[in-house]
Structures are given as structure tokens and as C-alpha cells.
Amino acid sequence: MTSMPMVKAEAVHKNFGRLEVLRGIDLEVNPRDVMCMIGPSGSGKSTFLRCINHLEKIDAGRLSVDGELVGYRQRGDRIYELPDAEVCKKRAEIGMVFQHFNLFPHMTVLENLAEAPVRVKRESRAVAADRARRLLERVGLAEKVDAYPRQLSGGQQQRVAIARALAMQPKLMLFDEPTSALDPELVGEVLDVMRALAEDGMTMIVVTHEIGFAREVGDTLVFMDGGVIVEAGKPRDVLANPQQERTRSFLSKVL
């Protein structure tokens, strides 16, 4: 029996004014899979990620996570937008890690992790703090529970941001170029945490420039350009033997 895809996009379109940013995206991500997305700036990769958790609303098509439409409900033939409170509840099931760490500067690392579970999920502070400590251990930062973000390196802040997303116990993790704001020597520590997550079976979509990570960890590699998927397949196949001229030209510049 085939399981339902964790993410399913069907002819997804997104416009900003007259600019068509997504021009009919079709893809599926299965549970426990890691999909890596590469492509030039402005190709629509980050916009697509933001549509998955309804930070951006799509203009046409269908997008579902774990079998449910994102931000909408279908009754008969009609589709209705969900109220904000319900969208937020659904969004809590999807972890997102951005290029910039977006940690709360006035809170300690532990407080950063415990805040959303307490506020959104109404967990007790003790339960949230206990999970936060375990997650910090998992990302190699157990000793930083009482530190403030400004006392951490960029790589450490990004590992805290990953732990914070995991604190909500999401079923899906989205990473939007999580290493591109980091000094080169700090990239590895963040990729190691992501690699471990993949090994633990977390479903992940990763927009990245880290081709080595995509080759090693990805189950699928998607190359996007101009708001469309130009090519997709097993990472090693796409990287070693791209079928499309546009993919070949892009890879010749980044490999």
C-alpha cells in the first residue's frame, strides 16, 4: 500500500502583481524523504516554501500537506479559506528555518525554544523546557541553555533556530537556504544537524546552494528556474547527467 505524500503540489501558481513567480508547480514529497531544491536567485524556490506553510497564498492550483489543503478547506466543489486561527494551528505542524535566524534577542536560548509550545500548544512550561533541553543536546548546544542569541556564533544561532522549529514537533521541516548567511567554516555544523534529522526520518524540503549536501542527503533533487521545475530526479543522476540544457548551464557555474 502506498502512503499518502507528505507534500503534494498540483499546478501551483503564485503572482506578485504582474510578476508570475510560480508558473504551475507539480511535485510530491513522500514521508521521511528529503527533497533538495536548487536554482538561481529569483527562480521561485523560497516563494514555493512559503506557500507550503501559507505564509504566501497561492493564486491557482492545489497544495496539500499530509492529505489536507494548506490554508483552505474543500466542501463539495467549493474551496474556502480557513480563518487565521486555524491556519496558525496547521502552520504549527510545519517547522520552518530561514536564512536569518529570527531568534528573539531578549530571550535566552531555552526561552526561545519553549515560547511557541507554551503559547501556541498551551504546554506547561516544565514540559516545554524539558523538551527544549533535549533538543539543545541533540543539536550539540546543551551548554548554551542560558545564553542569549547575541552571545552565539551564526552557526550556533542557526542550530538553535532548527531546535526551535523542532520544539513544535512538526511533521515536516522546511529549510530556506539555512547556511547562506553563515561564514564558510560554520556551514558544516548546521549541515551535520540537518543530516542527523534526515537519518532520523524527518520529512524535509531544503532550498540550498550546498550541492554536496544535496547529493549525499537528498532523495530527490529539483532544479527550478523562472518559476517552473526544469528537472527533477535522483540527486546523483541530475548532478552527473543533467538532461536539460538549462540545468547543465547552471551546474557548470556552481560545481
How high is the pLDDT of residue 88? 82
Left, alpha or beta for 42 (phi > 0: left; psi -120 to 50: alpha)?
left
Which pLDDT value is given to residue 84?
85
Q: Is the pTM of this model over 0.85?
A: yes
Triad 102, 141, 125: Cα angle to 5°? 70
Q: What is the pLDDT of residue 86?
A: 84
For residue 40, which amino acid is it? Answer: P
Q: What pLDDT score was predicted for residue 120?
A: 87
Residue 23 is predicted with a pLDDT of 96
Between CA 118 and CA 124 the distance in angstroms is: 6
pLDDT value of position 2: 59
Question: What is the Cβ-side half-sphere exposure of residue 47, based on CA atoms within 13 angstroms?
Answer: 25
Residue 152, pLDDT score: 96
Length of the chain in terms of residues written:
255
Tell me how far apart the alpha carbons of residues 62 and 208 are, in angstroms, rounded to a whole number. 24
Q: What mean pLDDT value characterizes the chain?
A: 93
pLDDT of residue 89: 82
Ranges in the chain, pLDDT < 50: 1
DSSP per residue, the chain:
-PPPPSEEEEEEEEEETTEEEEEEEEEEE-TT-EEEEE--TTSSHHHHHHHHTTSS--SEEEEEETTEESSEEEETTEEEEPPHHHHHHHHTTEEEE-SS----TTS-HHHHHHHHHHHHS---HHHHHHHHHHHHHHTT-GGGTT--GGGS-HHHHHHHHHHHHHTT--SEEEEESTTTTS-HHHHHHHHHHHHHHHHTT-EEEEE-S-HHHHHHH-SEEEEEETTEEEEEE-HHHHHHS-SSHHHHHHHHHH-
Apex 166 CA angle, 161 and 169, nearest 5: 155
Q: Cα(46)–Cα(229) distance, rounded to whole angstroms?
A: 13
